[in-house]
Amino acid sequence: AVDDAESGVHAFLHINAEEALAVASEVDAIRAAGGAEAQALHPLAGVPIAVKDLIVTKGQPTTAGSAMLKGWMSPYDATVIEKIRAAKLPILGKTNLDEFAQGSSTEHSAYGNTRNPWDLNRIPGGSGGGSAAAVAAFEAPLALGTDTGGSIRQPGAVTGTVGAKPTYGAVSRYGAIAMASSLDQIGPVTRTVLDSALLQELIGGHDPKDSTSLPEPVPALSDAARLGAAGDLTGVRVGVIDELGGEGYEEGVKARFEESLELLKARGAEIVTVSCPHFKYALSAYYLIMPSEMSSNLAKFDGVRYGQRVLPESGPVTIERVMGATRAAGFGDEVKRRIILGTYALSAGYYDAYYGSAQKVRTLIQRDFEAAFQSADVLVSPTSPTVAFELGAKIDDPLAMYLNDIATIPANLAGVPGISVPGGLSEGLPVGIQFLAPAHEDARMYRVAAALE
């Protein structure tokens, strides 16, 4: 059945069947033997997990969805992978993504697109479309994604799965191939909010290998999810963000959003409206900050250190010319477009006007959040303005593609946690509802999300 699903959906770039089966059998044997070792098993031991192919894994290829890293094997495991191995979750394989996590549809993968299991002619979201499609198609009960501007939450929304971006620093980024380091976070993709909380508890916590890792211990997220699932939100103030959900949002998305608010009210929550006036500049700020950081992070793919090396077709073989030939052949159009944007924004004479201004906008967005959280405990919005669109619909129109992330990007700019949960269907396709909480308050987010589920 999984093979059938996979042939239609193409969620995976690499399948790790042998090792996954060996880990599953080991857990079975421990359980069968009983005793202290069985008692000590992690609650998720034996539950298979799929991993976005941006996260490095020993013994399996890591491609980042790019021809640049075709056949590349990491010599080490990401911290989240070490934790997953220690807890004995079988790793099913590596999932498809937009090249270097840049995109909203998984169509920018160098290895073919992934399809949405709800309608194979539609996109599964992106950049982590493979992880979301694997979970939605019942190929994997758990998956890992990365979220720089929405790449866990938007695929979650359009595939009817749960996708969570933890507080910046709550999960180690060590071993996640960096896109934009001040925005990137690893997080869970699951079928339920409780699974998401359990998985974040497992992968979270301080890591000395990541200098931005938070020092504090992981909060009791699964307890919060269980509390929320009991259904009582009395005393919880849920803020509807005035700037997210109006113009440009599909009618079906708005209708499901309104119903979700009714449900939250029925659970005892107080619905308030908050204004975040600078959110309208979030997309512009993101498309300066993200490419600036990304162009610098991707400078290491030089044809010398990692992956592909392409020699010039003719002429002298100098370092510069090898680098040029390698990057011309190794990177796809979207990555090149953004490298050009980023290097331009950082160049002398333009730095203050572009990167500098974007950083100021980022601060204003953080202040919008701070003000909003004065009058609300959590914030709520649709995760994405549209349901899954058709394959090819936006591939030639970068701006239309970028606009799909309008509701998810502010959380990355401010470092706050966000989660997308299924909020019903519009014309047969899933709609996602996003909850945002203050930084370090992931437990609060899980509680309210579990109450809506």
Q: For residues 48 and 415, which CB has a smaller minimum distance to ligand GLN in the complex?
A: 415
| Tokens 């949002």, located at residue | 249
Nearer to ligand GLN, 214 or 290 (CB): 290
394-453 residues near ligand GLN, rule: CB under 6 A: 405
**Smallest distance from the beta carbon of 98 to ligand GLN, in angstroms?**
7
Burial of 75 (0-12, 13-18, 19+ CB in 10 A): exposed
* Nearest distance in Å: CB 401, ligand GLN: 7
Choose among 79, 67, 112, 81: nearest CA to 306.
Answer: 67
Q: How far apart are CA 53 and CA 94, in angstroms?
A: 5
Q: Which residues lie closer than 8 Å to 336 by C-beta, 6 or more apart?
A: none
Among 149, 187, 188, 422, binds ligand GLN (CB under 6 A): 149
Nearer to ligand GLN, 53 or 147 (CB): 147
Gap between the terminal Cα atoms of the chain: 27
Q: How many CA atoms lie within 13 A of 231 on its CB side?
A: 3
**102 in contact with ligand GLN (CB under 6 A):** yes
Q: What are phi and psi of 448, to 5 degrees?
A: -70, -40
CB-based contacts of 258-263 (< 8 A; 24+ apart in sequence): 259/423, 259/424, 260/380, 260/423, 260/424, 260/433, 260/452, 261/380, 263/452
Q: Segment 245-304, which members bind ligand GLN (CB under 6 A)?
A: 290
When asked if residue 179 is in the footprint of ligand GLN (CB under 6 A), the reply is: yes
Nearest to 143 by CA among 9, 293, 39: 9
Give the nearest distance from C-beta 338 to ligand GLN in angstroms: 8
Nearer to ligand GLN, 60 or 102 (CB): 102
Which one of 71-79, 145-153, 192-200, 424-432 is the stretch in contact with ligand GLN (CB under 6 A)?
145-153
Half-sphere exposure for 222 (CA within 13 Å, toward CB): 11
Instruction: Name which position in 109, 148, 381, 386 contacts ligand GLN (CB under 6 A).
Output: 148
Q: How far is the CB of 410 from ligand GLN (least distance, A)?
A: 12
Residues 6+ apart with CB under 8 A from 9: 114, 115, 116, 117, 120, 124, 133, 134, 137, 139
Name the amino acid, one letter, at 106: T
Kindly state the number of chain residues that form the binding site for ligand GLN, as judged by CB under 6 A: 15
Q: Which range touches ligand GLN (CB under 6 A), out of 78-86, 144-152, 198-206, 390-398? A: 144-152
Binding window for ligand GLN (CB under 6 A); candidates: 34-42, 141-149, 223-231, 367-375: 141-149
Confirm or reject binding of residue 151 to ligand GLN (CB under 6 A): yes
What is the sign, positive or negative, of the torsion defined by CA atoms of 157, 162, 165, 171?
A: negative
Do 27 and 46 form a contact (C-beta atoms < 8 A)? Answer: yes
CB of 248 to ligand GLN, least distance (A): 16
Piece in contact with ligand GLN (CB under 6 A), picked from 60-68, 80-88, 98-106, 382-390 = 98-106
> Least distance in Å: CB of 291 to ligand GLN?
9
Q: Which of 106, 127, 131, 308 binds ligand GLN (CB under 6 A)?
A: 127
Four-residue CA torsion sign, 338, 339, 345, 349: negative
- Chain position carrying tokens 């857990």: 27
Residue 404 Cβ vs ligand GLN, minimum distance, rounded to whole Å: 7
Q: Cβ closer to ligand GLN: 274 or 389?
A: 389
**Per residue in 326-362, is it b (16+ CB within 10 Å) or e — as a string?**
bbeebbbebbeebbebbeebbeeeeeeebbebbbebb
Confirm or reject binding of residue 103 to ligand GLN (CB under 6 A): yes
Residue 158 or 379: which CB sits closer to ligand GLN? 158
Part in contact with ligand GLN (CB under 6 A); list of ranges 147-155, 343-351, 388-396, 437-445: 147-155
Residue 47 or 186: which CB sits closer to ligand GLN?
186
When CB distances to ligand GLN are compared, the closest residue is 151
Choose between 27 and 162: whose C-beta lies nearer to ligand GLN: 162
Q: Are strands 162-165 and 418-426 parallel, antiparallel or unpaired?
A: antiparallel
420: phi > 0 → left, psi -120 to 50 → alpha, else beta; which?
A: beta
Structure tokens at 138: 């019942």
**Active site residue ranges:** 52, 127, 151
**147 part of the interface to ligand GLN, by CB under 6 A:** yes
Binding region for ligand GLN (CB under 6 A): 101-104, 126-127, 146-151, 179, 290, 405
